[in-house]
Amino acid sequence: MTAAAVTSLRAADRVPANGGDILITPLIHSSVQLEHAGKVIQVDPWTRGDLTRAKPADLILVTDADDGAHHLDPAAIQKLRKPGAPVVIPASGTAKVPDGVVLANGQSRSLAGIMVESIAAYDIKPGDPYHPKGEANGYLITLGGKRIYFAGVTECVPEIKALKNIDVAFVPMNLPQERMGPAAVADCLKILKPPLVYPYHYDNARLRPGAPPETSPLGFDDLKKALTGSGIEIRGGSWYPASQAPSGQPAAAAPQAAAPAAQAGEADPGVRPTRLIDRAEVRVSRVELQAGATRRVHTHDDVEFHLWVPLSGTFQLSVGSEAPAAAAPGQAFFFKRGTPHGFRNVGTSAGAVLEIFVKDSAKVDVAQILGGFGLPLRD
């Protein structure tokens, strides 16, 4: 296993079913492994999780042909697909999986002896990132008489509200643009009435280097409170363990350029911040670093959180006591208030990073700010 993988396999949950228990193993983000009666189903397999102990699949379900590969990851499919195993995809995924089985919303088909129904998955509330109707799938499968629903990335659209007799549901929470917050998820579940629910796809920032291990999943307490007395069990999973280096980028130290001498106005030698936005609720800075320059480890205690995004150059990011991790241009790293961090330009030319410091998240549209710098925030 490379340093890029995130170890997340744990003991499987069991759901009684005809022909034996269904084993459910949350992997990472929206990636799930199911086992029943000798068959293995992988949903949205992703190489950011530790797949070394995941089992080869008789059936693979892919919900979306996203740019970030956290739903459709050809490398993960190649690693886990048994010879000839069907891979179910939306039509938008044919370029990445040419031999995939395309199921349009509303279509159903028996594959690998398992009935699979494609359920519409799309956004209603406007704003980027936006998932239009018809481009992504949720899936409803039947194993041992149990109806198991994977919503994918979606709001609680009419096609979902029309579903009946769901036994286990995997539903997204905390999507971008304030879609599917805990209250909205609770309202949706009160309509579906599944006895068992796994919230997933709820903390995109946790996947990035520097995020702490999962302790109190975002929104779980609110969701459980909203469903008190409903008879619906909310079950967690190890979806977001401690983050390490990004996929394909081991955390080993890179050759380092010599540090530049300090210049007037520089807190750290070769580091020059420029304030771009300065408001009560948010400030944004562009920080330029000469080759070999280091922004020493520091914290920001006056913000709710901040995002750190390399714009150009080759950087290593240090967080707390963790080993430095490579950071590629365009990646966004999330830090809670008070998180110790520092960074170094390990390249041979100057580089720059963008930092967004959010003091009042209720008044700040981070996606809009990133979009203004040509950096769309994706789910």
Q: Choose among 130, 216, 212, 215: nearest CA to 179.
A: 130
Q: What is the pLDDT of residue 207?
A: 56
pLDDT band at 279 (very low <50, low <70, confident <90, very high): confident
Report whether 339 contacts 355 (CB < 8 A). no
Q: How far apart are CA 63 and CA 83, in angstroms?
A: 21
Mean pLDDT of the chain: 83
**Which sign does the torsion angle of CA 73, 49, 373, 270 carry?**
negative
Of the segments 145-149, 170-174, 259-263, which one has the largest average pLDDT value? 145-149
**Tokens for 128?**
């980027």
Q: Domain 13-234 belongs to what topology? A: Metallo-beta-lactamase; Chain A (3.60.15)
Beta-strand ranges (E) seen in 247-330 are 271-278, 282-289, 294-298, 305-312, 315-319, 325-327
Contacts of 200 (CB under 8 A, 6+ apart): 26, 29, 30, 32, 170, 171, 172, 173, 237, 239
Q: How far apart are CA 195 and CA 335, in angstroms?
A: 35
The verdict on whether omega for the bond into residue 324 sits within 30 degrees of 0, i.e. cis, is no
Report whether 19 contacts 113 (CB < 8 A). no
Percentage above 90 pLDDT, the chain: 48
Q: What is the pLDDT of residue 266?
A: 43
More confident: 343 or 279: 343
pLDDT band at 157 (very low <50, low <70, confident <90, very high): very high
| For residues 130-158, average pLDDT | 95
Q: What is the pLDDT of residue 127?
A: 82
| For residues 118-123, average pLDDT | 96
Query: What is the per-residue pLDDT across 46-103, written as a single tens digit (0 to 9) for each?
Result: 988 878 879 999 999 999 987 667 899 999 999 999 999 999 999 999 999 999 999 9
How many of the other CB atoms lie within 10 Å of CB of 345?
30
Lowest mean pLDDT among 4-13, 112-121, 130-139, 172-181: 4-13
Q: What is the pLDDT of residue 243?
A: 38
Task: Give the three-class secondary structure for 225.
Answer: helix
Query: What is the per-residue pLDDT across 365-374, written as a single tens digit (0 to 9) for each?
Result: 877 777 666 6
Domains 13-234 and 271-372 in one fold: no
Given a cut of 60, whether residue 242 has pLDDT beyond it is no
| For residues 321-335, average pLDDT | 84
Report whether 355 contacts 272 (CB < 8 A). no
pLDDT band at 249 (very low <50, low <70, confident <90, very high): very low
Domain at 271-372: CATH code: 2.60.120.10
Domain residue spans of the chain = 13-234, 271-372
Q: Choose among 262, 245, 267, 261: nearest CA to 316.
A: 245
**Tokens for 319?**
């967080």
Q: Choose among 71, 85, 88, 58: nearest CA to 27.
A: 71
Distances (CA, A) of 310 to 21, 207, 247: 47, 16, 16
Report whether 34 contacts 59 (CB < 8 A). no
Given a cut of 90, whether residue 141 has pLDDT beyond it is yes
| For residues 171-192, average pLDDT | 90
Given a cut of 60, whether residue 179 has pLDDT beyond it is yes
Query: What is the per-residue pLDDT across 196-232, written as a single tens digit (0 to 9) for each?
Result: 999 998 876 555 544 444 444 567 788 889 999 999 9
More confident: 257 or 103: 103
Q: What is the pLDDT of residue 294?
A: 92
Strand pairing of 59-61 and 39-43?
Answer: parallel
Task: Give the three-class secondary structure for 79.
Answer: helix
